[in-house]
């Protein structure tokens, strides 16, 4: 495979991204890899490369580009309340409109790649990226055909703009991996999401993992190798089912 650091034009300036192009000349399905709150860093590139190893053209954008180039937090902040506060403040400053503008820029770039089959594009996201993958499914129903939200947060809220209230627009096959005792996605919220998606007749699957929020990302202090492998099996099955040639 070929990897490269690129800049993608957005309405708010250049956005760095890590692009991974599989070997071979066939037109491939593509996946937008949406980062967690810790930011754009080596661990996510490694995970994106693993996904690309299964034949996907993968694009990992730096969603903190409005604040700084390649800004990221060390994973240890997950155990440091003051640093966690800084990270949450940064995340809170990114509106859905900003983030969906970034996703649109990624989709535009992938659509222009000669080796990408634009009819087979999906997204996977972790933590805040899981929320963004779900929102993107509702914002780009004709462009995203499968999405995976891994230990996501903020899917169901009391806000009139809660993502689950806009789920009717989504056409993608959707997968949700929910952590145990997760304050960002409680069992009650997951049940509400299940009821909502079922009532809407959406293609979806929600699974609960015996692991803590953040378990699937390889550099976090709560990384759980066994449960992470389970999530890999799930997302690869999701994309294979939707994007089978």
**Which numeric CATH code is attached to 2-243?**
3.40.50.1820
The reported pLDDT for the residue numbered 221 is 92
Domain coordinates of the chain in residue numbers?
A: 2-243
User: Which band of pLDDT confidence, cut at 50, 70 and 90, is reported for residue 79?
Assistant: confident
The predicted-structure confidence for 216-237, as pLDDT tens digits, reads as follows: 999 999 999 999 999 999 999 9
User: Which band of pLDDT confidence, cut at 50, 70 and 90, is reported for residue 244?
Assistant: confident
The sheet with strand 57-61 has its strands ordered as 2-10, 13-21, 57-61, 28-34, 116-126, 146-150, 173-179, 204-209
Instruction: Sort 189 into a burial class: Cβ within 10 Å, 0-12 / 13-18 / 19+.
Output: buried
Put residue 214 in one of left, alpha, beta given phi > 0 → left and psi -120 to 50 → alpha.
left
User: Which band of pLDDT confidence, cut at 50, 70 and 90, is reported for residue 87?
Assistant: confident
The reported pLDDT for the residue numbered 70 is 87
pTM for this model (two decimals): 0.95
Least confident of 6-15, 74-83, 188-197: 74-83
The predicted-structure confidence for 155-197, as pLDDT tens digits, reads as follows: 999 999 999 999 999 999 999 999 999 999 999 999 999 999 9
User: Which band of pLDDT confidence, cut at 50, 70 and 90, is reported for residue 245?
Assistant: low
Higher pLDDT, 25 or 135: 135
CB 110 within 8 A of CB 144: no
């Amino acid at each position: 495979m070929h990897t490269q650091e690129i800049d993608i034009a957005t309405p708010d300036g250049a956005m760095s991204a890590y692009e991974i192009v599989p070997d071979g000349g066939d037109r491939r399905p593509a996946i937008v890899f949406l980062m967690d709150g810790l930011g754009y860093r080596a661990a996510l590139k490694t995970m994106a490369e693993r996904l690309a190893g299964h034949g996907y053209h993968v694009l990992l954008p730096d969603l903190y580009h409005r604040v700084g180039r390649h800004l990221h937090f060390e994973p240890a902040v997950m155990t440091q309340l003051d640093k966690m506060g800084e990270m949450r403040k940064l995340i809170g400053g990114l509106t859905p409109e900003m983030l969906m503008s970034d996703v649109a820029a990624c989709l535009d770039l992938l659509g222009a790649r000669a080796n990408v089959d634009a009819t087979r594009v999906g997204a996977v996201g972790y933590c805040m990226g899981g929320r963004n993958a779900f929102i993107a499914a509702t914002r780009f129903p004709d462009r995203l055909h499968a999405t995976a939200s891994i230990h996501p947060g903020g899917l169901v809220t009391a806000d009139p703009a809660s993502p689950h209230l806009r789920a009717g627009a989504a056409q993608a096959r959707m997968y949700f991996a929910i952590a145990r005792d997760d304050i960002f996605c409680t069992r009650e919220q997951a049940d509400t999401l299940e009821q909502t998606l079922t009532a809407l007749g959406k293609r979806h699957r929600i699974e609960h993992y015996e692991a803590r929020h953040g378990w699937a990302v390889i550099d976090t202090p709560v990384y759980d190798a066994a449960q992470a492998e389970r999530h890999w099996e799930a997302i690869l099955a999701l994309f294979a089912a939707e994007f089978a040639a």
